[in-house]
Structure 1
Amino acid sequence: MVTRRWHGTSTRGSAARIVTAIGAIFAIIEVVYILLVVLGANAGNAFVRFIASLAEPLALFFPGLFPIANPTLAVIVNYGLAAVFWLVVAGFIARLLR
């Protein structure tokens, strides 16, 4: 007879997955904002304003970090750095939790 052992999910593993998911969501918000700016979305649209209202505080100190004359390139660089930041920080915290 074969006995099967139930391997439940550990609390630390679950916490690490939650942190990773939150970091990914934050990064996705930043990337969606970049795409909206690059593709020239209507800034008066409610969805664009909503994404901007989420992306701007999540960008932390990155907007204006590098003075770039081209506003579209500035958004790509600064908000792109913020997206990478959230992925790296979330990965680091998740690794600590495991």
Structure 2
Amino acid sequence: MAHHPDHDRGGATGPARARTAPQESAMTGTRTDPGDRGRDRRVPRPRWSFTGAAVRRRATGLAATAISLVTTAVVLILAVHIVFVTFEANTANDLVRWFGERATDLAWEFKDVFQPANPKAEVAVNYGLAALVYLVAGRVLVGIARRLAR
């Protein structure tokens, strides 16, 4: 019977073909077997990449996250101020004063858009309007940044 090297896996009748153990790629977790001949040897791309498109996607994704965080913080400051005014928080308190000063700065020209007779309603409506504008503008900017990331 003719001896074929692929049929012999280290038995006593012939030389064993040197075989290496499958290796796992550190970057992708894909297993490749260097002993398999005739197979496609392309290595999958790593999960992380330094191509221009990947860097742009990462940067726009980070920008979208930053925009979202900033607009959320602004809306929270305005909302806390509205709550403090509505429930008549102590204006001598440093925390209440800090929120009031930040909210006044952030409300821009919205502070006197509506002028109802009740001062609490005036703050709630005008500062609420400013918060709504920030929320909508932030969501629009985040949407644009996420679309650019694709």
Whether TM exceeds 0.5 here: the answer is yes
Q: Which residue of 1 aligns with 2:142?
A: 94
**Aligned match for 1:6, one of 47, 52, 59:** 47
5 Å-filtered alignment, 1:62-81, equals 62-81=110-129
Q: What is the deviation of 1:10?
A: 1.4
Amino-acid identity (%)? 33
Question: For residues 93 and 84 of structure 2, what CA distance do their matches in structure 1 show?
Answer: 11
Q: Deviations over 1:8-51 (max 9, x none)?
A: 87111110110011001000000000011111101111111111
Distance 2:110 2:48 in 1: 42
Where 1:68 maps in the other structure, the secondary structure is coil
Aligned residues: 98
Cα distance in 1 for residues equivalent to 2:69 and 2:47: 25
- C-alpha deviation, 1:83, in angstroms: 0.8
Supply the distance in 2 between the matched residues of 1:86 and 1:7 (Cα, whole angstroms): 34
Shift of 1:6: 2.2
Q: 1: CA distance between counterparts of 2:48 and 2:80? A: 37
- Corresponding position: 1:22 with 2:70: yes
- Equivalents in 2 of 1:62, 1:89: separation in Å? 15
Q: Which has the larger radius of gyration?
A: 2
2:108 to 47, 60, 63: 60
Q: AA paired with 1:20?
A: S
CA distance in 2, matches of 1:45, 1:27: 21
Higher share of residues assigned helix: 1
One-letter identity of the residue aligned with 1:6: R
What is the rounded CA distance, in whole Å, between the counterparts of 1:91 and 1:45 in structure 2?
33
| RMSD after superposition | 1.8
Q: Structure 2 length normalisation: TM-score?
A: 0.60
Which of 94, 101, 107 matches 1:46?
Answer: 94
Q: Which has the higher contact order (CA 8 A, sep 6+)?
A: 1
Distance 1:92 1:73 in 2: 28
Q: CA–CA distance in 2 between the matches of 1:26 and 1:7?
A: 34
Aligned-pair CA distance for 1:7: 5.2
